[in-house]
Amino acid sequence: MAYIGQNLDRFSNVEKLDVITPATATGAGPYNLTQNSTAFTPINANSLVISIDGVIQYGNFSVNNATVTFDAALSDANTCDFIYQMGIGLISTPADDTVTTAKLEDGAVTTAKILDNNVTVAKLPTTLDISGNTVTLPASVSGLGTGITNAQLAGSITDAKIIGLTSSKLTGALPAISGTSLTALNATNLGSGTVPTARLGTGTADATTFLRGDQSFAEVGGGITEADQWRLSASQALTTLDTTTLLSGVWERNDTAGYSQIGTGMSESAGVWTFPSTGIYYIDVRFVFLSAGGGSEYNEVDIWSTLDDSSYTQQSSGTIAVQASSIDYNASTATFYFDVTDVSLCKLKIQYFIQGNVTLKGSSVKSITHVNFIRLGDT
Amino acid sequence: MAQLNTKIKLYAKANGVNSIDFLSEVKLQDDSNGQGAYIKEWNLDIPQPTSEQLATYEDEANAEEALNTVYSNRRSEYPNHNDCIHALLDGGDTLTDLQAKRQATKLKFPKT
């Protein structure tokens, strides 16, 4: 028989501890556990064999580190006979597949006891809540694939995390973004489409305007915007001699079929002509004189203008003579370029001066004595 | 009613001015507003006449204008310059006929 005749302290892994000294003052404990006067921490309470007053104590005490506390108080009268720790060396090597879960202490399997790369997915719970932990991924993670869904991404992905964004990810309706971000957009990158006229320049953009180099819309220069013709509606016998005389109340706008004015046209009241708009006008007055019989050596047609609607200045005149005859015609012309800067102040008068009785020829069906107004351009 | 220029001519002649340039020395204006002609500018050395002074020349001016009308009417019916030159060159009946036409015109438009 093995081990007969051997003292207990000779058993492998059986430790003999120093006896404690029960005391009324200490009661149930704790009592320090020592071996050779050195603190001794047993494996657990079950590994200790303590004899008090000849009675083996079991299951009625607990250990905490290097102390033991009894369930009942001890007294000075009690005597501790011995204390042994029954080491693991007393346990025989168990047979394969005989160590049950119950034999393992809770939490006894440490990380070191698990072989690397040997915890399979099947050993993990279906729902693994690691919200209380920090998951640190390596700088390069391969194999994630599409396993991480949008819902699993929280917060924002910063620009630094985006290394490439292909055009295929920008199809369809793009979100509204600020134009100030398109700082590198240049003309060569504009494909097709229409740039709104409001983005091209200031002013009114329509069929009558064009875009100038200073990025403003303006009317096309050089075009005729006003052209009008008036005529003496009937012949007038002129008998006021040696007197500059205003020709008033005898004008009509050409209304013969085929005639067409351009623009608003002129207006005449009491011999004073008013312009429809500012600008530089060419005025061409043509008088046709007919001798009244006795002739007239000096016949003048005059253009007078004012810049203040009050004081008139003679700007142009044309003179001609008609001989003593009943059929002697002659024509005289006066022209003027008038810079009309204000239509309410810049006015015009047409007057005549004769030295003998004459007839100023006119007609309501054709233009004989007449005046042309043509706006040449801006003032 | 006589014209203003006629009365001014008579006033000027009575004051030693025998001819007037109505384009510079005396400028008359008619604004065709029913008020008739008026003196716009007077540049003669003699004083500008008043309306009352000019009114004193009304009758004489009417007579002057009537005479001018006679002259004007005669000029309109006298043979023209070409006919006169031919008549003078041809003489004879041509000249006699022309002189007869001129005399007939004078009789048609007598001075009085």
Q: Let me know if A376 is exposed, middle or buried by CB neighbors in 10 A (0-12, 13-18, 19+).
A: middle
Average of per-residue pLDDT across A366-372: 97
For the segment A64-107, what is each residue's pLDDT rounded down to a tens digit?
A: 999 999 999 999 999 999 999 887 544 556 778 888 888 888 88
| Cis peptide upstream of residue A175 (ω within 30 degrees of 0) | no
Over 70: is that where the pLDDT of A244 sits?
yes
**Crossing angle of helices B58-77/B92-108, nearest 10°?**
150
CA atoms within 13 A on the CB side of A184: 0
**What pLDDT is recorded for position A222?**
66
Task: Count interface pairs A-B at CB distance under 8 A.
Answer: 70
Give contacts of B31 with chain A, Cβ < 8 Å.
246, 248, 271
Subunit contact B37:A325, Cβ cutoff 8 A: no
- Block residue for tokens 């011995």: A82
Question: Tokens 């002609």 correspond to what residue?
Answer: B37
d(CA A367, CA A252): 10
Show contacts of A250-258: CB within 8 Å, 24+ apart. Answer: A250/A362, A251/A371, A252/A364, A253/A228, A253/A229, A254/A229, A254/A230, A254/A367, A254/A370, A255/A364, A256/A365, A256/A366, A256/A367
pLDDT of residue A195: 80
User: ipTM value of the model?
Assistant: 0.82
**Chain B: residue nearest A324 by CA?**
B76
Comparing CB atoms, the residue among A241, A247, A270 nearest residue B3 is A241
Spatial separation of the C-alpha atoms in residues B6 and A241, rounded to whole Å: 9
A191 has pLDDT over 90 = no
Q: List residues bridging with A300 in a β-sheet.
A: A319, A353
- CA distance to A266, A343, A347, A354, per residue, from A335 (Å): 16, 19, 15, 19
Cβ–Cβ below 8 Å for A295 and B75: yes
